[in-house]
Structure 1
């Protein structure tokens, strides 16, 4: 039970943070919950299927090949995981009438991402124990949050733009880019000191995420002028 709590606590702390930042018109809780559940179950299933397909078509067996780890980070992991989240935001959340301001893109994308992160984190923590729980609370879980916020920033803009397709795909692209970069520096752990690249990637993602949240807050149509 303690391991389960440690695995899920950072997920719900991040959800609460993003929810409280939605200052002017909060989303219905049932839609947020369902988005979370879709992320925790459906996204995981889609990702598992895509992983299996990649492994059949493009097996990557050399863990000391920088090129293979690049392909694994950006295409096998980054692309499959972010695509599995993207299609839920795109074809479930973005179609809802309650998705009625750009910040909602961030809110729903984070719910899907944190659903995915919760399931993934539980599996890792139950296997690896308290040390893994502590490490991932300050690395993988907030990383998933930044990927979601960055994706959601563009998808929030997309719904209210004539360039909906371009902006939606931009959200997917940048989520994959940041996810791939973060994982790539961790996957090539055999290069001394290269892990610092993952830290820089995460910190940059956090900075951009805070800026994205602030931008959509300020542009909310529900904001009452002072």
Structure 2
């Protein structure tokens, strides 16, 4: 039970942080909860199906091949996982009337991402124990949050733009880019010292995420009325 709590604690800390950053017009809790549940179940199912498809179409067998690990990081893991989150934000959250300001893109994308991260983290932590729980609380879980914020930043802009298609795809692209970069440096840890690249990628993602949050806060249409 303690392991389970350690697995989900960082997820809900991040959710609360993003929720309270939504200063001017908070989202209905039932929509946030359903977005989280879709991320924790549907995204995982989609990812699993796509993973199996990649295993058939593009089998990767050499763990010490930098090229294969690049393909795995960006096209297998990054593309698969972020696409599974993207379609939920795009075809569920973004269609809602309550999605009525750009910050909502961040809010819903983070809920979906944290749903995914919760399920993933529970599986890893229950198998790996307390050390894995502690490491992932400061690495993988915040990484998923930054991917969600970056995606949500663009998808929040997209709903209120004439370039919705391009901005939505930009959100997906940059989420994949940061996810792929983070994983790539971890996957090629057989290269001495290269793992630091993952932490640099995560740090950059956090910096950009903070700017994205601030930008949408400042541009909220509800700001003047509060």
TM (norm. structure 2) is 0.99
Q: What residue in structure 2 maps to residue 133 of structure 1?
A: 133
Equivalent residues in 2 for 1:1-226, closer than 5 Å = 1-224=1-224
- Name the SS for the 2:101 alignment partner: coil
* 1:188 CA displacement: 0.1
* 1:224 CA displacement: 2.0
Determine the C-alpha separation between the residues in 2 that align with 1:103 and 1:225.
Answer: 16
Determine the C-alpha separation between the residues in 2 that align with 1:138 and 1:146.
Answer: 12
Determine the C-alpha separation between the residues in 2 that align with 1:137 and 1:49.
Answer: 27
* 1:225 CA displacement: 6.6
* 1:39 CA displacement: 0.1
Equivalenced residues, count: 226
Q: Deviations over 1:149-183 (max 9, x none)?
A: 00000000000000000000000000000000000
Determine the C-alpha separation between the residues in 2 that align with 1:104 and 1:185.
Answer: 31
RMSD: 0.8
TM (norm. structure 1) is 0.99
The 4+ residue runs of structure 1 with deviation greater than 3 A are none
Determine the C-alpha separation between the residues in 1 that align with 2:221 and 2:175.
Answer: 26
Determine the C-alpha separation between the residues in 1 that align with 2:82 and 2:58.
Answer: 19
